[in-house]
Structure 1
């Protein structure tokens, strides 16, 4: 009998990770296209349009959908009769595949994993290790599902042990309402119910890999069990929150809700919630000993060609000529096209800048009347100026915002999702503005970057400070100089029901 070798698994996982870096699952794209067609909120519709346009560009150019190419999650179901030719631990085998995929010269993927989470948090450099889940199942084959999970959505995961009499739907809806937009909606909700703490979380994560789109059929024929009824209830109630794409307010916040459940203790009701973002990426394959899996490109007919970012009414903003008069005219929800000089800087760079200010040292860049972009780009290839360069979650910079605005004269920040109350107050007091680029449109955004050069903190890798020259980079005003936030105004306008 043919045996399933380590090489079969390594080749298959590595190829799958490259595949999902630039191909969305077609069922997800069809659901997004449907949401685009139904959307009535102009801001949300434009955001979904950018995500769809970006997805098609990535499929054609074979470049990452999102600059956060994710933590690798690998689910392996090993048939108890499978003829295995493995001599090493499965973790070692899978990690070899991750290294190969993420360090591929033709399409390098961003390494985001840091070792020693309690210490220096040094980047591993190759995105290993993977997060591995293994189950022994009936049969003589090995089934593998590979996914790449972005940090923004992963960070919004939640868990609770409810009383058995509590409403699961109430808890999920209240939790999602408090997540903000950092998980980059519209996306998926994976929910694990029952089992134990660890079992519940594992089920929620695995549920995110299920196909999208069966809720329409379930609604038409009527739910056949409690799980289907709960999925419909949560789907409707979450979308009624009006959060919308990128938190701008709109009709679609989730495309689907997936639930897995397992027997649990009579006194317990463990419930886990894990959202998946607009960069939903996963792929399944089976190994039977005949060789590595092969993956055919999807049919690009599933990607709508007529969906583009609508920027005809956008206001052009010259980043090299910022003034109080210009900034005071900007309003929440307004679409802008940025041109000029834009610096990058995210968590590590902000932390180092504040340390230098504490020590009375001059900063390596002059941020006076300048703009900064919260981004950690993918490395460029084949003559690119920069790789996919979408925004990271801005709230992680909130604790630095007042200090940076006060002591550097920075006036414009670009990121994704909402800002906290303290950051909004600082923005108002210092006459600054906060803009958002669309999370999940990293390749599209990168095409507006004409020049890029590192200017400080090069040892931080993708978190170094770069000086960018941008031309017509599409963004939305999220917080204006008066402290008004589109992430409060938009959802409030589009919320339905009680």
Structure 2
């Protein structure tokens, strides 16, 4: 049977890509909101519940304000199924059309998105300035339409991708349960796990990424029961991963994953390739089809899809003035304590830390304005501001990447505190204890909410680094949690351990 050919116009695809990327920058998928709201209602860990509340409040704020859910607005990954009867009215390649859409989306004047792509990937790593190029996958299929799945994948979760070739007789469940705890909290749970099984090395990774494009339906699967071995594995891993007690933001709690998605493909008799890729709390993906009739029409979700929350960050939190703070002051802070920070702090990420290290190694002075004595540094690369904003969304980046710089900065600059997301490694925790410093955690996936606490911003050093430059922020009531205290106690160790033990004693309730 033949079908009429569709003609896809170049500008329709470019506009559709741009509109889709703007859309997913500020609208969570409704399935994610519903799943997170259920997890929030069931959560018994105060720290995890607070983190989920911030994510849900931030999500609604972004939907209303049309600003990014997370400051890491992701690298663009697109999957195309091109009907073999499709015709093109275009003089660009598919890659060029997608990149033009990315460029248009990420430089939109009303909602500027952060450019994160660097080229070359080693050495100079110069930011491309417009978040191009996109990662594009193409499959030719029967038909006369263009099927598009597009995502903006954050670096924190992408960095936690893992792959192994197991023996055919090995347990996939055992490998996943051994691997997930090694991911830490840098992928910003609660989110999804995409698992690819079979094929070859690259096919398994591709399957895992494709799995993350599917809707969250674990609740429905539990209600109807498994139909095959894949469903059985999904249910088992959902229960077992959550029983690890990692919890929201790694703070310990009942929910670490909202769903486990699995895609499989035949493989060689001697092999069992398995890949796992997590999706973070800033889950961003969308699906649309072009049939030649014009650009994609994307319908906004209803605000009624978000739960009504009575969230007040001041309840149970201690207000702290950063200006004039001393090591003696921070020594009184307790692990897991919630703080509201006000005053001035400096920003700095990987590239800025590397430059500071190089200056310290040479015995050279730090740039003017970069005096870290009794100061805090916030690991952040904010989105550019629009309209009357001081800064755009400005949530934390993964602190673990700065671990290798921590001892030197604490020992040679007078720095007393750091703010980021996720856990610190053993060497960094030891350095924090040795120098009587602290590490505070802000919630990943609540970038717009955090930005509302920033009242002023000025560039201090390394302007050429763009979003990684050092800035001084003036903040008011910025919500954080004491993640590592001055005695070296880490809530990312104690919290999951406590909840792993408690979950083991909670009776299993069959839905």
TM-score by length of 2: 0.96
SS at match of 1:283: strand
- 1:69 alignment counterpart: 73
2:61 to 35, 57, 65: 57
Find the counterpart in structure 2 of residue 18 from structure 1.
22
- Which structure 1 segments of 5+ residues have no match? none
1:118-137 superposed matches below 5 A: 118-137=122-141
CA distance in 2 between counterparts of 1:379 and 1:430 reads 34
Deviation at 1:324, TM superposition (A): 2.5
**Map of 2:219 onto structure 1:** 216
Equivalent residue, structure 1, for 2:504? 497
Matched, 1:259 2:255: no
Asked if residue 363 in structure 1 is aligned to residue 366 in structure 2, the reply is yes
The match for 1:32 is: 36
1: CA distance, partners of 2:364 / 2:223: 65
SS at match of 1:212: coil
1:471 aligns with 2:476: yes
- The Cα shift of 1:3 comes to 1.2
CA 1:285–1:307: 2 relative to 1, 3 Å: farther
Q: Secondary structure at the match of 2:124?
A: coil
Per mean C-alpha deviation after superposition, the further-off stretch among 298-307 and 434-443 is: 298-307
Could you tell me which of 461, 465, 469 is aligned with 1:460? Answer: 465
CA distance in 1, matches of 2:432, 2:132: 38
Superposition deviation, residue 83 in structure 1: 2.6
2:48 aligned with 1:44, yes or no? yes
Tell me the distance in 2 between the aligned counterparts of 1:158 and 1:356. Answer: 35
Alpha-carbon distance in structure 1 between the residues aligned to 2:227 and 2:171: 19
Is 1:485 the equivalent of 2:486? no
Tell me which stretches of 4 or more aligned residues in structure 1 moved more than 3 Å. Answer: none
2:36 partner SS? helix
Counterpart in the other structure of 1:294: 297
- Which deviates more, 398-407 or 220-229? 220-229
Aligned ranges 1:207-356 → 2 under 5 Å? 207-213=211-217, 215-356=218-359
CA-CA distance at 1:305 after TM superposition: 2.6
Deviations 1:305-349 (A, max 9, x none): 325254311011111121222211111111000000110001011
Alignment correspondent of 1:418: 423
Cα pair 2:313 2:479 within 8 Å, conserved: no
Counterparts of 1:164 and 1:6, CA distance in 2: 46
Structure-2 separation of matches of 1:363 and 1:289? 57
Alpha-carbon displacement from aligned partner over 1:198-231 (angstroms, at most 9, x marks no partner): 1111111011010112x22322332110000000
Shift of 1:355: 0.8
The reply on whether 1:444 has 2:449 as its aligned counterpart is: yes
Q: 1:51-90: CA deviations, max 9, x gaps? A: 0000000000000000000000011100111232233321
Within 5 A, what are the aligned runs for 1:180-199? Answer: 180-199=184-203
Listed one character per residue, the Cα deviations across residues 218-253 of structure 1 (whole Å, up to 9, x for unaligned) are 223321100000000110000000000000000000
Distance 2:279 2:494 in 1: 24
What pairs with 1:38-117 in structure 2 (closer than 5 Å)?
Answer: 38-117=42-121
Other structure's SS at 1:343 match: strand
Whole-angstrom CA distance in 2 between matches of 1:86 and 1:358 = 54
Match of 2:182 among 169, 178, 182: 178
- The separation in 2 between residues aligned to 1:13 and 1:375, in whole angstroms, is 27
Residues in 1 aligned to 2:312 and 2:114: alpha-carbon distance in whole angstroms: 26
Whether contact under 8 Å (2:190, 2:257) holds in the other structure is yes
TM-score normalized by the length of structure 1: 0.98
Does the CA contact (< 8 Å) of 1:311 and 1:335 recur in 2? Answer: no
SS in 1 for 2:208: helix
Matched-pair contact (CA < 8 Å) for 1:22–1:62: yes
For residues 102-135 of structure 1, the C-alpha deviation after alignment (integer angstroms, 9 at most, x for no partner) is 0111111000000111221000000000011111
1:363 deviates by 1.1
* Counterparts of 1:342 and 1:118, CA distance in 2: 30
C-alpha contact (below 8 Å) 1:53/1:307 kept by paired residues: no
User: SS at the partner of 2:209?
Assistant: helix
Q: Deviations over 1:271-322 (max 9, x none)?
A: 0100000000011100000011111211111111325254311011111121
Residue of structure 2 in register with 1:152 after alignment = 156
Structure 1 residue matching 2:118: 3-state secondary structure? coil
Specify every segment of 5 or more residues in structure 2 that has no aligned partner in the other structure, as ranges: 506-511
Q: 1:2-13 alignment to 2 at 5 Å?
A: 2-13=6-17
Partner Cα distance (2:385, 2:343) in 1: 20
